[in-house]
Amino acid sequence: MITGIKGTRRIRRATAVAVTAGAMLATGALTAAPAQAVTAPSIVAKGGYVMNNDSSQSSLYTKAADTQRSTGSTTKIMTAKVVLAQSNLNLDSKVTIAKEYSDYVVRNNASQAHLIVGDKVTVRQLLYGLMLPSGCDAAYALADKYGTGTTRAQRVANFIGKMNTAAKNLGLKNTHFDSFDGIGNGSNYSTPRDLTKIASSAMKSSTFRTIVKTKSYSAKTITKTGSTRTMAPWTNTNGLLSSYSGTIGVKTGSGPEAKYCLVFAATRNGKTVIGTVLASTSIPQRESDAKKLLNYGFARLG
């Protein structure tokens, strides 16, 4: 009898444990998966990186994030950053457009702001011309103005030196510039991680933030005769501004070697995700890659 009672108790205890375990399993099945469990997307771009802009240590996605690649016009993020970091910067200071700036874009079949030789254009306007239509003529004008030297070549070389110094000051090991606009001479490269950090640093400037989220801008310049010229509107090449809610920047890039690149940033629910895709296959594809990474970044942040 005693043995029977003990056996019955054992059965009851085992049943209770089983019921408890079952309840725990049922409860677990109803618990939402943690944010970290979100499946990482597959992108066509050869390199990609995303981080939480509020914490540069917070990587959310990596794909060949430290592989050096040609960056195309995403280089111009650093061009703008160097200009905006100048001491005693006067955004209303005027620059006279030289024939060499125009000849340069024609010679290289480069993207341009269609600046007109002899016109006086403000630094602020040049920054819009640099970042929206990706004007290599605007980039040349800014490098010529903010580089130091007695000749144009010396000033441009000095400005590119400032770009490299800025990269070193950010602690970037895989970035080097040999141009002010991304039309490289064999040694203009960065990585998805480095470019994202350059953009994150540039976004600390309110002027930069205002420019890169602007879809269209019309500049009023001063002609040789002193009259006012209203330029054709410059349209931002970043299609995400119109197709992804919360987008706040940053910059496109393309080229035979660079393929299709995009540095992007968006803010939702008070959180900002910033990232880069390099060497995608087309304009629509780089935007699709970026949207996937933004969605993933926000899902990770919860």
DSSP 142-166: HHHHHS-SSSHHHHHHHHHHHHHHH
Burial label for 2, CB within 10 Å (0-12, 13-18, 19+), is exposed
Q: How many Cβ atoms sit within 10 Å of the Cβ of residue 91?
A: 13
Residue 134 falls in the annotated catalytic set = yes
Rounded Cα–Cα distance for residues 204 and 199 (Å): 9
Active-site residue (options: 73, 111, 179, 201): 73
Residue 227 falls in the annotated catalytic set = no
Q: How many Cβ atoms sit within 10 Å of the Cβ of residue 23?
A: 10
Active-site residue (options: 63, 70, 76, 179): 76
Residue 73 falls in the annotated catalytic set = yes
Rounded Cα–Cα distance for residues 261 and 258 (Å): 7
DSSP 276-291: EEEEESSHHHHHHHHH
Per-residue CA distances from 142 to 21, 93, 152, 161, 179 (Å): 69, 11, 11, 14, 12
E strand residue ranges, the chain: 47-52, 59-63, 69-70, 94-96, 120-122, 189-190, 216-217, 220-222, 228-230, 234-235, 247-255, 259-268, 271-280
Active-site residue (options: 70, 111, 134, 200): 134
Closest CA to 283 of 45, 10, 16: 45
Residues labelled as active-site residues: 73, 76, 134
